[in-house]
Each structure stands twice: as C-alpha cells, then as structure tokens.
Structure 1
Amino acid sequence: MKQVTATGQSVREAVESALAQLHITEEQADISILDKGKKAILGLFGGKPATVLVKKKQNVKEEVVNYLQNIAKEMGIFPKINVKQEGKTYYFQLFDEKIALIIGKRGQTLNALQYLAQLVANQASEQYVTVIIDAENYREKRKETLVQLAHRLAQKVHMTKRSVKLEPMPSYERKIIHSSLLDNPNVKTISEGNEPHRYVVIKPEK
C-alpha cells in the first residue's frame, strides 16, 4: 500500500491514522488535506471529520533494490546488492555465486534487467535518473573486451578498406567503441539502426 485516505476529528488525528496504516513517518510522506473538517456545535451537532490523503514518498534506491531482489528470487538467486549514487546516476552492483544467470550471454540478461530497472527508478523519481546495473564488475571486464575488439576491427577495416558492422549494443557500449577509435586517423565510427537493435559501423576513413 503506497497511499491511504484517512479521517479524524482533526487534521492531525487523520494524518497520524494514515501514517500508522502505511507504517511510515511524516518525513516519508506526502500529505494532502482534502477536508479540514468542522467541529460539532456544543460537541454534538453539525460536526464533520477532517480528511487527508497521505502518499508514501517513493525512494529510488529502495524501489530498484526491491525490484532486483524480486526478479532475482524468481531465478533462484539471492544476491547481495551494493548501491552507490553519484548525482542523478545510481549504480547497483550485484554479487552471487550464480551471477552468470543474471549476466546472460554477452550481458544480454543484465542489459535487459538494467533497462527495466531504469523504468522502475524513473517511476519513483520526480526527475530523470540513470540506472547502471552491474554484476561482480562484469561491466569493467566487458569494457576491456570491447576496447580490444574495437582496435582489432579497426585494423581489419584499415587493411581491407571495407566497413564492419558490429552486433547491436546498448548506448553506453556503443559509446565505448566510438571513444576507443576517436583518435584513430584510419577509421571512423557511426551508429545505425533503431533501439534496441542499434549498432556501430566502423568505416575506413577516406
């Protein structure tokens, strides 16, 4: 339950009733007074209860962690999750002996999980935020692999004078390819296609 409408003889009483039902503190709530109520004449006639709407403030970290835990549980995994925030970017690092199931082939499962977690985070946030999901530092290892791949394919393109199309990648992986070859005078890179099937093409520099 994320919100509740409550009544009371006063606004304060109504608010306290709602907070108790939601099991939260006032600092964790958004409170809207729907009706301030009216005291009864002589305590007997014409009274009207106060009515409030209390919503539980959504917490990005909490919402994403709960989402990840629920998904992992369905996979039979109970990972430890470390969370770090830098500005509007949230990093969630997962650790478990079965972590390969979360990563998937070439990180496809991890990328899908990150995409869905991003949606969850932005439903819980009043401003746009970025979510990065990693599993036992897979992303760093993947980055090293992509950098090596980029240089190897760039050399091939330079030698053959033929363009090479890479497999579809999420935007941050494409950025790694582009950045790796930015200073290479022999080739240029462009992204083509539509999400989520957008890919990088390495072309010979004429």
Structure 2
Amino acid sequence: MEEKKNLDDLLDGLGIHEEEAPPAPVLEEKGAEETASAPQSPSEVVEHFLVGLLLYLDPSYSLDLRQEGERIHVEILGGDGGRIIGREGRTLKALETITNAVVAKHFGSSYRVNLDAAGYRKRQEDRARKRALEAADVVAATGEPLELPPMRPAERRIIHMTLKDHPHVTTHSVGQGEERHVVVLPRTDEVTGEEPAADEGEAPTEA
C-alpha cells in the first residue's frame, strides 16, 4: 500500500497518468540465458529504470551514478530540475522510494539508492548544518533551550550529528509526525544527546 501511494505521488508530481508510466525493468530469472541488454547488477537496474523514465520525460536529463559497496548514489542532471524535485522535495523522495523498491525486488533490501537532483539534497544538508551551528551559538550564549521548527527525519538527523560532540549543547527530538522537531539545550551531566537512528528513506549524503 505504501509503495502504491509513493508511485501515485511520483506520477502526480511528474504530471504522468498512471497508464502512461514506463514499465520497471524486467530481469531474467536465475538460470536463464543471459542477454547483453538485460541489467544484472543493482547499479545497472537503477540506471536502466531511471534512464527509461527520464528519457520519457525529457531527453535532456542525464545521470551521474556511482556505487560504493551497497550504497548507490545518483545525481539527476540537466532538464527541469524543479519537476524532478517537486514541492518540498516530495517528487524526488517518491522517485527515490520507488527506485529502492525496484532494486529490493531483485536484490533484497541491503542495497540503498540515494537520489539527488540539481544538488537539492546537498543544499538541504548544508542549510541544516548551518541552522544547527547557529542554534548552538544562541543556546551557549543564553543558557536557554531553543526549539527548532519541525523538520523531516533526514534534516533532524543532520542536526543531531552536527551537534553530537559540541562541548556546550546537546539535542533531542520531541513531538509526533509532522510536528516532530529538535530541541537544542545546554549540555549538562544529566542530559545526553539523542543518538540518531537512520531515518527511513533518507539520510545525509548519503541526499
């Protein structure tokens, strides 16, 4: 159900009717005779799937893809970056989720695709780090806790990681759902920073 919702979000964000969507890559069954055109590695599956989709949208899009162990980093370049990113990054997030589902279907869930477009995720990470350091300066100067606005899991994780070893402040998250946010507060012997867990679908560039 969640995968179906993400697919619907992706198609809506890209302005594609579901019946027009390009098909996911079909791999050969194990033991079948290999063909030169069939993708047989996780990175090839990612490239095959995304190139097919992007060519359908606009031939001016291109991919910069690299694999580091079980991490596959993909940057979508050219074309209309805003169309791929979507409002508040929702289309990019949906595309990343669907791409991960395609890879997991054939190779299991150990592989992780980190998708970015036009440097969007990198800019988000840089802004989160800057906000973390600015908040730390305020808390260190005033001695009072500071609540940051609600953020996505990946951005909260960046705040936690940026301030994890700060000598004067620590962090923890409060709230539920879309209202969940980070509180930066003075470091004491009784308070320790929240150890951030990897958030589903997103992590720093990871991005």
TM range (shorter): 0.5 to 0.7
User: Which residue of 2 is the match for residue 88 of structure 1?
Assistant: 70
Shift of 1:123: 1.6
Gaps of 5+ in 2: 1-25, 189-207
Which AA in structure 2 matches 1:125?
Answer: F
Unaligned runs of 5+ in 1: 5-14, 29-55
Alpha carbons 2:150, 2:178 under 8 Å: kept:
no
Task: Write the letter of the residue equivalent to 1:146.
Answer: A
CA distance in 2, matches of 1:130, 1:144: 22
Does the alignment pair 1:150 with 2:132?
Answer: yes
Measured after TM superposition, the shift of residue 132 of structure 1 is 0.8
What SS is found at the alignment partner of 1:109? helix
Aligned equivalent of 2:161, options 176, 179, 201: 179
Comparing both structures, which one devotes a greater share of its residues to strand? 1
Residue 203 (structure 1) aligned with residue 185 (structure 2): yes
Contact 2:145 2:183 survives alignment (8 Å): no
Which residue of structure 1 aligns with residue 50 of structure 2?
A: 68
Q: Specify the alignment match of 2:151 in structure 1.
A: 168
CA contact (8 A) 2:63 2:77 kept: yes
Q: Distance in 1 between matches of 2:166 and 2:92?
A: 30
Q: Partner residue of 1:24?
A: 35
Q: How many residues align?
A: 160
**2:199 is the alignment partner of 1:188:** no
DSSP-derived class of the 1:124 partner: helix
Residues 3, 117 of structure 1: alpha-carbon distance in 2 compared, 3 angstrom cutoff: closer
Q: Do the aligned partners of residues 145 and 165 (structure 1) sit closer, same or farther apart at CA in structure 2, a change above 3 Å counting?
A: closer
Separation of aligned partners in 1, 2:175 and 2:47: 32
Q: Which residue does the alignment assign to 1:46?
A: none
Distance in structure 2 (CA, Å) of the matches to 1:71 and 1:190: 40
Q: Which protein is bigger by CA-based radius of gyration?
A: 1
TM-score w.r.t. length of structure 1: 0.61
Q: Would the alpha carbon gap of residues 111 and 92 (structure 1) be closer, same or farther in structure 2, given more than 3 Å must change?
A: same
How has the CA–CA distance of structure 1 residues 121 and 194 changed in structure 2, closer, same or farther, with 3 Å as cutoff? farther
Q: Sort the Cα spacing of 1:197 and 1:96 in 2 relative to 1 into closer, same or farther, 3 A.
A: farther
Q: Deviations over 1:6-38 (max 9, x none)?
A: xxxxxxxxx8xx64xxx726xx9xxxxxxxxxx
Measured after TM superposition, the shift of residue 195 of structure 1 is 7.2
Structure-2 change in CA distance of 1:153 and 1:122 (3 Å):
same
- Which one scores higher on RCO, CA 8 angstroms, separation ≥ 6? 2
Q: Deviations over 1:88-124 (max 9, x none)?
A: 1101111013112222344333233222222222222
Indicate how the Cα distance of structure 1 residues 132 and 182 shifts in structure 2: closer, same or farther if over 3 A, else same. Answer: same
